[in-house]
A and B are shown apart, each in its own frame.
Chain A
Amino acid sequence: MERLNRREALQRVACGFGSLALADLFARWAARSARAATTKAPHHPPRARRVIFLFMQGGPSHVDTFDYKPTLIERDGELLSFDDPRTRAKTGKVIKHQVMRPRWKFRQYGESGSWVSELFPHVARHVDDLCFVHSAQTEGIAHGPATLFLHTGAIAFVRPSMGSWILYGLGTENENLPDFVTLNPPMNVGGPRNYSSAFLPSVYQGTPVGRAGQKLSLASFPNIQNPRYDSAHQRRHLDLVQSLNRARAAETPADADFDAVIRSYELAFQMQFEVPRVLDLTTESKETLQSYGIGDKATDSFGRQCLIARKLVEAGVRFVQVNYSNDSSPPWDQHSKIEQHAIHARAVDRPIAALLYDLKRRGLLDDTLVWWSGEFGRTPYAQDRGTGRDHNPLGFTMWFAGGGVKPGFHFGATDEYGFQAVENPVHMRDIHATILYLLGLDHTRLTYTFGGREFRLTDVGGRVVHELLA
C-alpha cells in the first residue's frame, strides 16, 4: 500500500466525506505545522504571485487625479442637485451642492492617451502599464466603516482581512519572512482589525512593521534583534538550546510539534539576518534611492516604504501593504483646502513611479499585482460650499498594475460629473473577487467554517471582473 502523509490522507478523507467539520480540523492541522510546509495548491493557475497594496488613507479625489471631467470646469460654481450619501443618511434629503472644478490641469499621457492631472506627473509616465477602474463603488460613508470594508469585506462584524484570506488560501511561500506584511499601519479606523486573521488561524495574521508616522527602521520589526547578545554569541546560545532539545528528543518518541518548534527557532534565527537585509537600504545604489525620492524630505518616508515593499516581494513575501496614513486624521481627507492634495500627491507620486519602474526592470511586475486605492473617492462638488470635498463611495477610481491585468486599460466610468459610477460599476466585493482570482483563488470556494457557518471574503457577493484580465 502506498504511504500517505497526514495531509494527503486528510485530503482524501475530506473528499470522501465532504464534511464541513473536516475543513475546520484541516485548518487547525495546517496551523499547527511549521510554516515552510504550508504551501497549498491554488484553485486555478495564478496570474499573480504577490500583491503590493498602496493604501491611500482618507480617500484621494478621483476628479482631481485620474478621472478627467471637463464638465466640472464648464459648470464650476453652479448649484446642482446631487443625491449625496451623507446628506441622505443624516437628513433623508437631496440638496443642491456647488460644483467644484478640479484644481489641477489634466493632460493625456502615453500611447493609451490616459488623462492624468498635474498631481501625478511621475505615475503618469507609467500609464501604459496601468489598468484603471473608474467605476469603483464601496460601502461605508465614514472612514472607519469604509476602511474596514475595504480590508475585510465587513463593517459591523469582525472578519479576516484580505491578506489573511490569501495566505489561508495559498499558504506561505517564504521561509525567512512573514508572508503578510503591512508597513506603517495606522491605529485608527479599525487599527489591527484591518490586517487581522479574525477567526482564521493566527498564522495568517498580518505582521505590522512600524506604525503610522514612524520612520521604518530595524527597530520597527518586533524582537528582530537581541538587545544583549551579538550574533555569534546568539548562535552559540541557540546551539545550546537546540542541543538540549535534541537531548530531550532522544528520550521521547518522534513528534511533529517538537520538530516544528525546533524549526521555528532556526527560521527565527534566519529572519534576524533576512529582515535587516530587507530593511537596510544602504546596500541600494544611489540612483535607486534617488529614484524613490529617499533623501528628499517630501518623499523620503513613503519612498522608504515603497523600496522596502519591493525588497519584501523580491524576498518572496506574498502580500505587502504600504500605508500612506496617519494616526490622528487620514491624510487624503480634504474636507476643506483641497489644495492640500498636492502635499500628499507629492509625497507618493515619485516613490510609486519608482516602484513600478523598479519592479518592471527586475521582471517582478509580471507576477506582482500592484493595487492603488483609497477607501473611497471624493465628491465632485464642494462640501458645504467650501474649499474641500466630502467622501464619495458611489464612484471613484483605483488602478492596478502588473500581475495579469490589462496594461494601459480603462474600465468603467462615472457620470459626467464624476459623482456616481454609471458604466460597468465595480463593487469592492468584485475587486476582492478579482484579486483572489488573479492569485489563483476562486472567491466562492475560498471558505472557512467557523461556528457552524461557512464564511468567505466576498460574503454572498462578488464577481470576477474578467474584463480587467490580460
Chain B
Amino acid sequence: MTLRKLNVRRRLARLRCFLFMALLVAPGLADDYHRGGEHWAFRPIRPAAVPLVESNWPWTPPDAFLLAHGMAVGLAPAPDAEPAVGLRRLYYALIGLPPSPEELQAFLEDTRPDRWSRRVDRLLASPRFGERWGRHWLDVVRYADSSGGGRSLIFSSSWRYRDYVIDSFNRDTPYGRFVQEQIAGDLLSAHSPAERRRNLIATGFLVIGPNNYETQNKRLLDYDIADEQIETIGRAFLGVSLGCARCHDHKFDPVAMREYYALAGIFLNTRSVVHDNVSRWYEVELPVDAAERARREAALQAVKEAEKALRAARQKLERYDGVYTSKPADPRAIEGVVIEAESAIANGEWVLSAHSARRVGEAYLHDGNKNKGGCSLEFRWTAPATGRYLVRLAYTHGSNRSKRVPVLLQTPHETRRLTVDESRPPDQGVFVELGQIDLNREDELVVTITNDGTDGYVVVDAVQILTAQEAEERARVATVVEELKQQVDRVRKGVPPVETAMGAVDKPEKELEDSPILIRGQLEAKGPLVPRGVPQFLAHVVPPLEVPDHSSGRLELARWLTAPDHPLTWRVYVNRVWQYTFGSGLVRTPDNFGTTGEPPSHPELLDFLAARFCQQGGSTKRLVRELVCSHAFQLASRTDSLARELDPGNRLFLRFSKRRLEAEELRDTMLVIAGTLDTSMGGPSLPANLRKKGVEEKQVGRLRLSRKRSVYQPLLRNLAPEYYFLFDGANTSFVCGRRFVSITPLQALYLLNDESVLELAQATANRVLHEVEGNNRRLELLFMLCFSREPTVAERQLCGEFLQDRLAEGASPEDVWAELAHALFCTVEFRYVE
C-alpha cells in the first residue's frame, strides 16, 4: 500500500470513527436510539442475532459483536496479550489478587488447550471471587459501617449484610432472586431457617444508607429515609434517578411526582427506622433452626431453674442477714438476738435518724459528725447458755461515714478492739461480722461503739448475736447462695445470644396508609393521596403490578423490577458486569440509563447479553465466565497509534484498557506479596464495644485494621481507612457504579511513607530472603511477586547496583531488600494491571 493510499484510508477511518463517537456523546442526535421521544433504554430488549463475520477471530458471541463494529469503522483488534499478562489480568478481574509465582508457572507450563477455561473455573469457584465481586456490589449499594449525618452512629451489624453479599456472589444467587431478597427478603417464603436468615439480612440493603437520624422532625426523617431508599433503588437497579420527582416531575426522564409518592408509600409503610431523639435503624431478630432453637430453649430453662434455686437460697439467707435495700428490715423477722441502737445505752449526743431506708427497724443513731470522742453506745447482753456466739453490727453506709469506727467487744474473759469502715456497704446483708466470741452461761457481753478519733459520721443501727448453730447454718446457706450465683452466671453464658441484623419489615396491616403528594416536597403542603405502586413509565413494556391493601408493596416492586422483560434491570446489570470485567461499560454511565446518560456503544451486544442473561436464569458466574473467555478480554493493551488515534477512549473494546488497581486491590496485593494476608472470611469489622448502641464514630479514635482482606475492614462514613479514600474508594453516600481514578501526591506520600506500607515491604523482604538463595533469584522472585514477570536486564542492573551500594555501606540485607520491595511497591507498574 502506498503512503498516499494509507493516508486516505486513515482519513476515511477517522471520519467514520468521528461520526460514531459523535453519535455516542450526543444523545438526541442519534435517531436510531430516540424515536418519537422514546428513549432507547425504556424500549423492550431486542435480542439481536450474533453477527456473522468471516473471521476466526471471535471466540465467543460478544467477540463477534465487537469485531463487526470494528470492521464497520475500519479498526482491527489489537494482538493478543502475552499469557502472563493475560493471567494477571484474569486474576485481578476475578479475585482482585495477583497470581502467585507458582500459579503463574503452572499456567505457563500447562499445554492443554483449555488451560484458560480451567483456570477461569478454578477462580470462579474460589471464595476470593465473592470477596472481589461482592465489593463491586457494595459500591453500588453505598455500603458503610456507620450512618453518617451530624452524629454518625456506628452500625452494629452492617457486616452481616456485607457477608451476605459476598456469600451471594460465591453461591451465585440468580440476579433476579438477589434483587428480590434485598428489597423484600422478609416477604419471600423460605424453606429453612438459614434461608430465612439470609432473606432478612438481605433487607439490610434498605437501611445501610446515609441518614441523619438526628433530624428532629420525625415525619420529615421518614420521608428522607424513604427518599434515600428510592434514589438508591432507582440508580442501583434501574439506572434512573427517581429522587428528583420528590419536588417536581422529573425534568429529563419520564418520572412524575405521582409515581414518586406511589413509591414513597411503599417505603413509608416499611419499618426501617425506630424513632427516638436521635432515631435508629431497624433491626430484625434472626431465626435459628430447630436444633438451635431447642438448645436455646433448654439453656433458657436451665437459667430459669438456676434462678429459682438461687431465689430460694437467698430467701433462707435473708432470714439471717436481712436485705440491705430501700426497704427497712424487720428486726423480728431476723434470726438470733437483734438489739436495736435505740435500746442501747447512749453516752454523749446521738441523733435519731430514719434518713436512709437501708436500715433495721424504725430508725438508727448517728453522732452528727460532732463531739468526737464524746459519744459511745453500749449494747449489753447476757448469755443464756455456754457456747460460742457470732456478733454482727448493722449500719447504713455512705461516703460521709467514718472509715474507722472503733468497736470494743468485752466479756469477762477478754477485750477485743476492732474498727469498722462505714463508708462501704455491709457485706452480709445488713450486717458486718464483728467476731466470734466464747461465753459461759450468765456471762455478760458488752459491745461498745464510740466516735473516738473518727473523721466522718458514726452510724449505729443494731447488733445481732447468733448462736454457734445459727452461725453455722447461716454460713452453710451463704455458701449455697455463692455457688448458685456462679451457677446462674454459668448457665446464662450458655444461652446463645439473640442475633439481630439491620433490616426492614412491613408495618402491621392496620398501620398501612398511602402518602399524599407533597407539593414541592414540603411536608405541610399535602396534595392528593396516591395509592402505593410501582413506577408507570415503563407500563408499555412491563405491566405494573397492583399493590394489595395488606402489604407495603415491596414484594410487588421487587417482582416488577425482576420481570423477565424488564428493559432496565437486566441491561443495567449486564452492563455493570461488563464494566467490572473490561474496565468500562458498554454504557459508560452505569448508574444513569436515563436520557442524560450515555447511550451504549454496542446496543445490540447489550441487548443480546441482557436477554440471554435473563433467559438463562441470571447466573453472574456464567456471564463473567463468558466475558473473560472472550478473545476481547485477552487482547494486549498496547496497540498501534492508529487505534489510539481513532478510538482514544477504547469504546470499541478492540484492545484492553489498562486500569489502576482499586484501593482494596492495592492493599490486598501488598499483603499477599508480603505473605501476611489473613484469608479468614467475614465477621464484624469493629470490636463489640464500638458496636454497642449509641456509639458515635468520633469515639473510634484511631482506626485499627486487621490483616484480613480490605473488604472486611471498617468503612465508616466519616473515617474510612486511609488507603481507601486516597485511592478513590467508592463514596459511601451514593450509588457508585464507577469509581474515580485520581493521581495525587497524597497517594505518593502514602506509598512512600506510611508505616504499614513499610512494614509490608519489610515482610516481603523477609520472605524473599527466606524462600530463595542468591541475589539474582531473590530479585526474580520479587519481580514475579510484584509484576508477574522477570526483571529485564536494565532492571537487574539498577536493582543490583542499589543492592551492592547499600550492602557496601553496611546496611543489613533485611533492610536493603525491604527498600527494594518498597521501591517496587512505589513503581507505576505496580499500580496498574495491563
Interface residues of A (CB under 8 A from B): 13, 17, 19-22, 24-25, 28, 31-35, 89-90, 142-145, 147-148, 155-156, 158, 178, 187-193, 198-199, 201-203, 205, 207, 222-228, 234, 237-238, 240-241, 243-245, 247-253, 257-258, 260-262, 264-265, 267-269, 271-272, 327, 449-453
Interface centre among A223, A226, A228 (most CB of B within 10 A): A223
User: A residues within 8 A CB of B822?
Assistant: 237
The answer to whether B742 and A202 have CB atoms under 8 Å apart is yes
- How far is A260 from B25 in the complex, measured between Cα atoms in Å? 26
Counting from the closest, the 9 A-B pairs by CB-CB distance are A144-B150, A268-B748, A187-B698, A158-B733, A267-B745, A268-B745, A191-B718, A452-B596, A223-B753
- How far is A17 from B21 in the complex, measured between Cα atoms in Å? 12
User: A residues within 8 A CB of B470?
Assistant: none
The answer to whether A271 and B235 have CB atoms under 8 Å apart is no
User: A residues within 8 A CB of B734?
Assistant: 158, 198-199, 450-451
The answer to whether A19 and B26 have CB atoms under 8 Å apart is yes
- How far is A250 from B795 in the complex, measured between Cα atoms in Å? 12
The answer to whether B212 and A248 have CB atoms under 8 Å apart is no
The yes or no answer to B794 lying at the interface (CB within 8 A) is: yes
The answer to whether B252 and A240 have CB atoms under 8 Å apart is no
Q: Mark B242-253, 1 if CB is under 8 A from A, else 0.
A: 001000000111
Interface residues of B (CB under 8 A from A): 22, 25-27, 29, 148-152, 210, 212, 214-217, 224, 235, 240-241, 244, 251-253, 589, 591-592, 594-598, 638, 641, 644, 660, 697-698, 718-719, 722, 725, 728, 731, 733-735, 740-750, 752-755, 758, 792, 794-795, 798-799, 802, 819, 822-824, 826-829, 831-832
The answer to whether B748 and A243 have CB atoms under 8 Å apart is no
User: A residues within 8 A CB of B828?
Assistant: 245, 248-249, 257-258, 261-262
Could you jot down 16 A-B contacts, CB within 8 Å? A17-B26, A21-B589, A32-B742, A89-B216, A89-B217, A144-B151, A187-B718, A202-B725, A224-B749, A244-B799, A257-B828, A269-B748, A452-B252, A452-B253, A452-B596, A453-B596
A48 to chain B minimum Cβ distance, whole angstroms, is 25
A142 to chain B minimum Cβ distance, whole angstroms, is 7
A329 to chain B minimum Cβ distance, whole angstroms, is 12
B550 to chain A minimum Cβ distance, whole angstroms, is 32
The answer to whether B210 and A267 have CB atoms under 8 Å apart is no
- How far is A420 from B15 in the complex, measured between Cα atoms in Å? 64
User: B residues within 8 A CB of A202?
Assistant: 725, 728, 740, 742
Partner of A222, one of B150, B743, B750, B819: B750
B125 to chain A minimum Cβ distance, whole angstroms, is 34
Partner of B598, one of A21, A90, A188: A21
With A28-B740, A237-B823 already in contact, the answer to whether A265 and B748 are too (CB < 8 A) is yes
The answer to whether A191 and B210 have CB atoms under 8 Å apart is no
B595's closest neighbor in chain A, by CB? A452
With A144-B149, A228-B758, A264-B743 already in contact, the answer to whether A191 and B592 are too (CB < 8 A) is no
- How far is A111 from B594 in the complex, measured between Cα atoms in Å? 60
Partner of A35, one of B745, B754, B758: B745
User: B residues within 8 A CB of A253?
Assistant: 638, 641, 644
- How far is A327 from B698 in the complex, measured between Cα atoms in Å? 8
Majority DSSP secondary structure for residues of B touching A: loop
The answer to whether A227 and B827 have CB atoms under 8 Å apart is no
User: B residues within 8 A CB of A272?
Assistant: 749
B255 to chain A minimum Cβ distance, whole angstroms, is 11
A461 to chain B minimum Cβ distance, whole angstroms, is 13
The answer to whether A156 and B698 have CB atoms under 8 Å apart is no
The answer to whether B748 and A267 have CB atoms under 8 Å apart is yes
User: B residues within 8 A CB of A190?
Assistant: 149-150, 718
B700 to chain A minimum Cβ distance, whole angstroms, is 9
B644's closest neighbor in chain A, by CB? A253
User: A residues within 8 A CB of B735?
Assistant: 451
With A32-B742, A265-B745, A451-B591 given, name 7 new contacts (CB 8 A).
A17-B29, A178-B746, A187-B697, A192-B719, A228-B758, A271-B745, A452-B253
The answer to whether B823 and A226 have CB atoms under 8 Å apart is no
The answer to whether B823 and A241 have CB atoms under 8 Å apart is yes
Interface centre among A17, A228, A251, A451 (most CB of B within 10 A): A451
User: A residues within 8 A CB of B29?
Assistant: 17
- How far is A201 from B740 in the complex, measured between Cα atoms in Å? 7
- How far is A262 from B217 in the complex, measured between Cα atoms in Å? 52
Partner of A451, one of B235, B595, B644, B819: B235
User: A residues within 8 A CB of B755?
Assistant: 227
User: A residues within 8 A CB of B592?
Assistant: 451-452
The answer to whether B731 and A31 have CB atoms under 8 Å apart is no
User: A residues within 8 A CB of B26?
Assistant: 17, 19
User: B residues within 8 A CB of A90?
Assistant: 216
- How far is A271 from B151 in the complex, measured between Cα atoms in Å? 34
User: A residues within 8 A CB of B733?
Assistant: 158, 198
B277 to chain A minimum Cβ distance, whole angstroms, is 11
The answer to whether A244 and B824 have CB atoms under 8 Å apart is yes
Partner of B746, one of A34, A156, A222, A241: A222
- How far is A261 from B734 in the complex, measured between Cα atoms in Å? 28
With A156-B212, A265-B826, A451-B591 already in contact, the answer to whether A227 and B753 are too (CB < 8 A) is yes
With A21-B25, A223-B749, A268-B749 already in contact, the answer to whether A261 and B824 are too (CB < 8 A) is no
User: B residues within 8 A CB of A189?
Assistant: 150
B757's closest neighbor in chain A, by CB? A223
- How far is A20 from B25 in the complex, measured between Cα atoms in Å? 9
Partner of A188, one of B240, B253, B698: B698
A145's closest neighbor in chain B, by CB? B150
The answer to whether A453 and B241 have CB atoms under 8 Å apart is yes
B507 to chain A minimum Cβ distance, whole angstroms, is 22
A7 to chain B minimum Cβ distance, whole angstroms, is 13
B592 to chain A minimum Cβ distance, whole angstroms, is 5
B230 to chain A minimum Cβ distance, whole angstroms, is 13
- How far is A28 from B252 in the complex, measured between Cα atoms in Å? 22
- How far is A39 from B258 in the complex, measured between Cα atoms in Å? 44
B818's closest neighbor in chain A, by CB? A228
With A187-B698, A225-B753, A247-B792 already in contact, the answer to whether A20 and B214 are too (CB < 8 A) is no
- How far is A112 from B660 in the complex, measured between Cα atoms in Å? 58
The answer to whether A244 and B725 have CB atoms under 8 Å apart is no
User: A residues within 8 A CB of B749?
Assistant: 222-224, 268, 271-272
User: A residues within 8 A CB of B754?
Assistant: 223
The answer to whether A192 and B823 have CB atoms under 8 Å apart is no
The answer to whether B722 and A245 have CB atoms under 8 Å apart is no
A66 to chain B minimum Cβ distance, whole angstroms, is 27
- How far is A207 from B728 in the complex, measured between Cα atoms in Å? 14
B150's closest neighbor in chain A, by CB? A144
Partner of A227, one of B150, B598, B758, B794: B758
User: A residues within 8 A CB of B149?
Assistant: 144, 190
The answer to whether B758 and A223 have CB atoms under 8 Å apart is no
User: B residues within 8 A CB of A145?
Assistant: 150, 212, 214-215
- How far is A243 from B742 in the complex, measured between Cα atoms in Å? 23
The answer to whether A241 and B827 have CB atoms under 8 Å apart is yes
Partner of A191, one of B251, B638, B698: B698
A9's closest neighbor in chain B, by CB? B648
The answer to whether B802 and A31 have CB atoms under 8 Å apart is no
- How far is A253 from B643 in the complex, measured between Cα atoms in Å? 13
The answer to whether A144 and B596 have CB atoms under 8 Å apart is no
The answer to whether B753 and A251 have CB atoms under 8 Å apart is no
User: B residues within 8 A CB of A156?
Assistant: 212, 215, 224
User: A residues within 8 A CB of B152?
Assistant: 191
User: A residues within 8 A CB of B596?
Assistant: 20-21, 449, 452-453
With A148-B150, A199-B731 already in contact, the answer to whether A268 and B752 are too (CB < 8 A) is yes
B24 to chain A minimum Cβ distance, whole angstroms, is 9
B422 to chain A minimum Cβ distance, whole angstroms, is 38
A32's closest neighbor in chain B, by CB? B741
A155's closest neighbor in chain B, by CB? B212
User: A residues within 8 A CB of B698?
Assistant: 187-188, 191, 327
B247's closest neighbor in chain A, by CB? A460
User: B residues within 8 A CB of A34?
Assistant: 743
A185 to chain B minimum Cβ distance, whole angstroms, is 11
